[in-house]
Amino acid sequence: MLGSKALVSACEMPAGVSIRAPVPAAMRSASRSGLRACPGLRQRPSTVYPGGAACGAAAKDVEAHTPGTNGVPKHDQAAKLSTAAVHGGERVGRPRVADSLTTPIVQTSTYWFRNTAELIDYNEGRFDSFEYGRYGNPTSKAVEAKIKALEGAEDCLVSASGMNAVTSMLLSLVPPGGHIVTTSDCYWRTRQFMQNFLPKMNIGVSVIKPNDMESLKQALDTYNVSLFFSESPTNPYLRCVDIPAIAKMCHAKGAHVCIDSTFATPINQQAIALGADLVLHSATKYIAGHNDVLSGVLAGKTELVEKVREFHHIMGGVVDPHAAYLVLRGAKTLQLRVERHNESAMEIAQRLEKHPKIDRVWYPGLPSHPDYAIAKSQMTGFGGVVSFEVRGGLNECISFIDNVKLPYIAPSLGGVESLIEMPAVQSYWGFGPAKRAEIGIKENLIRFSIGIEDVEDIWDDLVQALEYVP
């Protein structure tokens, strides 16, 4: 059983360190973001844009996105999300270049203006174009429009990695001296940032167990909380937080809610419809889906995304146009892939639970998972990651993992290839056994990201590798 007390104490972070660094002022006005698209804007004649189509497209995409009650998409909604995955941001609303069906990779660092009048028109929002690569790019803008369509979001910002999205979001939305509430199980680099860097800015962090509503209430009553931030499901124990309940409590106290929905994807969980103000993804994972590119996306309320965008323009963590193209290309098959990941993971999780060499399986689609009821109420599928504990300790677990033949031993998740790792060795090795125990990372834990290979091939491989466990 996961030592939740240990997890919490390990993540407690000091607050009260004073900060001198000012919050960077936005250097670019919203009108320079290069991300607006409004009817009636003048377009450069040499670029064929469907006049005013961008706004229409965005509206159409979002219209297609009508989740059922409680934010959980209805069954026929999967088809709509599939359409949004293919066409969102691409069918209309982007430049048409050389009649290319696919969105072109616009490989440029800067954009030119015919004359000063055109530049002034651009500055004042009468001419729709881009100015400089750090402020926007047509290929990355198409990614943003696609994610908006998939998440039913007002706005979206794409960046160079999931961590860039996390750090930019936290640094721009939480003021120096502010306070955030987060949950104990999370991606270790996010935890490291919150633990080691936010306190330098006098930002306090309360770490609560997932769904410990009493501690959430206490933190909201005690501090001026700007933001609640949690993964759902979490990495690596797939804990799920009750998004509607948390949003209700946080909103009553004026705190925003951001959910890292990387493990869920917009196909399995509609975080914004469930009540979150912002949803974040490491697009490196399921959204791009092919283990070949890094990217991150943040989507949600315009006023919040715009603040992050201004900061992002200064920090410069932009996604390269080639990478943006790979995200677009991968995202088109998101719904199909996720359906397969969901099916295979559920099957493997159920079988593992019955295997004598397995001590425990962590999968939110299993009734044995502590957050099964929450997951069922807010997700339509439970994703492709299954974590499990091999009978024995570190050495027994190594005997297993060193004998798998189909999955790669590698970090990351969410791609078409199955990836397998021991968190104790892959990400937490440098912590040492005592610290790992303190933060709840078990020595015999496996995190398995199930790919889209044949499920029987995956199972047969796991079974033969488990034979090596003494």
Ligand X SMILES: Cc1ncc(COP(=O)(O)O)c(C=O)c1O
Six-digit token string for 132:
């400089």
Interface with ligand X (CB under 6 A), residue total: 13
Which residues contact residue 15 at a Cβ distance below 8 angstroms, ignoring those fewer than 6 apart? 179, 199, 202, 203, 204, 205
Work out whether 260 is an interface residue with ligand X (CB under 6 A).
yes
Active-site annotation holds for 285: yes
Q: How far is the CB of 20 from ligand X (least distance, A)?
A: 28
Q: How far is the CB of 197 from ligand X (least distance, A)?
A: 15
Residue 402 CB neighbours (<10 A): 10
Amino acid at 293: V
Work out whether 236 is an interface residue with ligand X (CB under 6 A).
no
* Gyration radius of the chain's alpha carbons: 22
Q: Which is nearer to ligand X, 131 or 260 (CB)?
A: 260
Report whether 67 contacts 77 (CB < 8 A): yes
Report whether 341 contacts 378 (CB < 8 A): no
Work out whether 235 is an interface residue with ligand X (CB under 6 A).
yes
Work out whether 421 is an interface residue with ligand X (CB under 6 A).
no
Q: Where are the beta strands (DSSP E) in 49-127?
A: none
Work out whether 305 is an interface residue with ligand X (CB under 6 A).
no
Work out whether 318 is an interface residue with ligand X (CB under 6 A).
no
Work out whether 284 is an interface residue with ligand X (CB under 6 A).
yes
d(CA 262, CA 299): 12
Q: Which is nearer to ligand X, 327 or 469 (CB)?
A: 327
Report whether 244 contacts 265 (CB < 8 A): no
State whether residue 430 is helix, strand or coil.
Answer: helix
Residue 274 CB neighbours (<10 A): 25
Work out whether 282 is an interface residue with ligand X (CB under 6 A).
yes
d(CA 279, CA 266): 9
**CA dihedral defined by 158, 159, 160, 161, rounded to 10 degrees?**
-90
Please report, as residue ranges, which positions from 138 to 167 form the binding site for ligand X (by CB under 6 A). 161-163, 166
Report whether 442 contacts 389 (CB < 8 A): yes
The pattern of x and - marking residues 26 through 55 that bind ligand X according to CB under 6 A reads ------------------------------
Work out whether 268 is an interface residue with ligand X (CB under 6 A).
no
Six-digit token string for 261:
């929905």
Q: Which is nearer to ligand X, 129 or 235 (CB)?
A: 235
Q: How far is the CB of 263 from ligand X (least distance, A)?
A: 6
State whether residue 371 is helix, strand or coil.
Answer: coil
- Active-site residue among 135, 187, 363, 428? 187
> 433's torsion region: left (phi>0), alpha (psi -120 to 50) or beta?
alpha
Work out whether 296 is an interface residue with ligand X (CB under 6 A).
yes
Work out whether 265 is an interface residue with ligand X (CB under 6 A).
no
Q: How far is the CB of 214 from ligand X (least distance, A)?
A: 25
Which three-class secondary structure string do you get for 2-26? CCHHHHHHHHCCCCCCCCCCCCCCC
Closest residue by beta carbon to ligand X: 162
Number of H helices, E strands in the chain: 19, 12
Work out whether 231 is an interface residue with ligand X (CB under 6 A).
yes
- Active-site residue among 91, 96, 134, 376? 134
Residue 262's closest CA among 161, 168, 192? 161
Active-site annotation holds for 20: no
Please report, as residue ranges, which positions from 332 to 351 form the binding site for ligand X (by CB under 6 A). none
Q: How far is the CB of 334 from ligand X (least distance, A)?
A: 16
Q: How far is the CB of 209 from ligand X (least distance, A)?
A: 18
Work out whether 232 is an interface residue with ligand X (CB under 6 A).
no
Among 262, 335, 378, 380, binds ligand X (CB under 6 A): 262
Active-site annotation holds for 277: no
Q: How far is the CB of 285 from ligand X (least distance, A)?
A: 7
Q: Which is nearer to ligand X, 155 or 260 (CB)?
A: 260
Six-digit token string for 53:
């189509």
Active-site annotation holds for 209: no
Q: Which residues bind ligand X (CB under 6 A)?
A: 161-163, 166, 187, 231, 235, 260, 262, 282, 284, 294, 296
* Residues with catalytic roles: 134, 187, 260, 285
